[in-house]
Amino acid sequence: MKLIITKHNLGLWAANHISARIHQAEKNPFVLGLPTGGTAEDMYAALSSLVQNKKLSFQNVVTFNMDEYVGLAPEHDQSYHYFMNHHLFSHVDAPAENIHILNGQAEDLTAECAAYEEKIKQKGGIDLFLGGVGQNGHLAFNEPGSAFDSRTRAVQLTQNTIEANSRFFNNDVRSVPTQALSVGIGTILDAKELLFLANGPKKAQAVAQLSKGEITPQWPITALKTHANAIMLVDEEAAGLLEGKAKEDLLRQQQENPDGDWILTL
């Protein structure tokens, strides 16, 4: 995998990457896996403006979101349905039938998850899966300990994640759902390409795990190292706890090319 550290806006970087992939796509439609979270907001703003400026279209794009809280109605302003509509889908030309988000209110959550995996398969698999990272290294809602071959399922959120996400629920830990539906790590790793983003000092510990070498379910982020075509894109703060050779490589590149993106192969 590549760890890319950039000074540039992560969202703009990611939106340009996504746009290039959609334009290059030989097959029609292009299948995108999408995240929610604060880190993704700039990326959705940049994608929306590309579409509004007629530089990009979602007409031939199919999307699958990575997760949703259990029990929140789509109209709830902290549901991921609401987030996606607010930040992306109300601004772009994606046909409604091309948009897929797990239903956290389904009566049979197991059947909902199985049907989701089936739909991804029917669309030919995910071409590019975008994601963020939790402070504890989670991917989607695959909390520490999740198996690398896990599939879409109902999961229990850890206290760490509930506390981190309470900032979106008026800092009231009790109103954060304790369960979610989430694609599995296996579902993510099946995608042809991965682009995950992390910014700020709170993500630095998780990002540092990538350079420490050990690949372990205790740090779901390290699953990215098992993928042949994965990029972790971070800002300088999120790269702040790199150690050893990764840190030396970064410092050397920063001296040689102060304005560039700095690329570490891990």
Q: Is 11 in the site for ligand GLP (CB under 6 A)?
A: no
132 binds ligand GLP (CB under 6 A): yes
What lies within 8 Å, CB to CB, of 9 at 6+ separation is: 42, 46
- Give me the least distance between CB of 60 and ligand GLP, in Å please: 25
Cis-peptide, bond into residue 29, ω within 30° of zero: yes
Could you say which of 11, 29, 33, 35 contacts ligand GLP (CB under 6 A)?
35
Task: Considering only the stretches 128-136, 205-213, 233-241, 248-256, report the one whose residues sit in contact with ligand GLP under the rule CB under 6 A.
Answer: 128-136
| Closer residue to ligand GLP, CB minimum distance, 39 or 79 | 39
Mark the segment that binds ligand GLP (CB under 6 A) among 30-38, 87-95, 187-195, 210-218.
Answer: 30-38
Q: Does 39 bind ligand GLP (CB under 6 A)?
A: yes
Whether residue 140 contacts residue 190, with contact meaning beta carbons closer than 8 Å, is answered with no
Task: Kindly indicate which of the ranges 102-110, 132-140, 170-178, 238-246 contains the residues binding ligand GLP, using the contact rule CB under 6 A.
Answer: 132-140
What are 5's strand-pairing partners? 234, 262
Which pair of tokens denotes residue 184?
């599995």
Least CB distance to ligand GLP at residue 182 (A): 7
Asked if residue 134 binds ligand GLP (CB under 6 A), the reply is yes
Collapse the DSSP code of 54 into the 3-class scheme (helix H, G, I; strand E, B; otherwise coil) and give the result. Answer: coil
Residue written as token pair 């209110």: 105
| Alpha-helical runs (H) found in the chain | 10-24, 41-52, 80-84, 109-122, 159-165, 185-189, 204-211, 244-256
Q: Would you call 97 exposed, middle or buried from its count of C-beta atoms within 10 A (0-12, 13-18, 19+)?
A: exposed
Kindly tell me which residue out of 42, 67, 127, 249 binds ligand GLP, with binding defined by CB under 6 A. Answer: 67
Contact 82, 76 (CB under 8 A): yes
Q: Pick between residue 29 and residue 120 the one whose CB is nearest to ligand GLP.
A: 120
Dihedral class, residue 30 (left if φ above 0, else alpha if ψ from -120 to 50, else beta):
beta
37 binds ligand GLP (CB under 6 A): yes
Q: Which residues bind ligand GLP (CB under 6 A)?
A: 35-39, 66-67, 131-134, 140-141, 161, 165
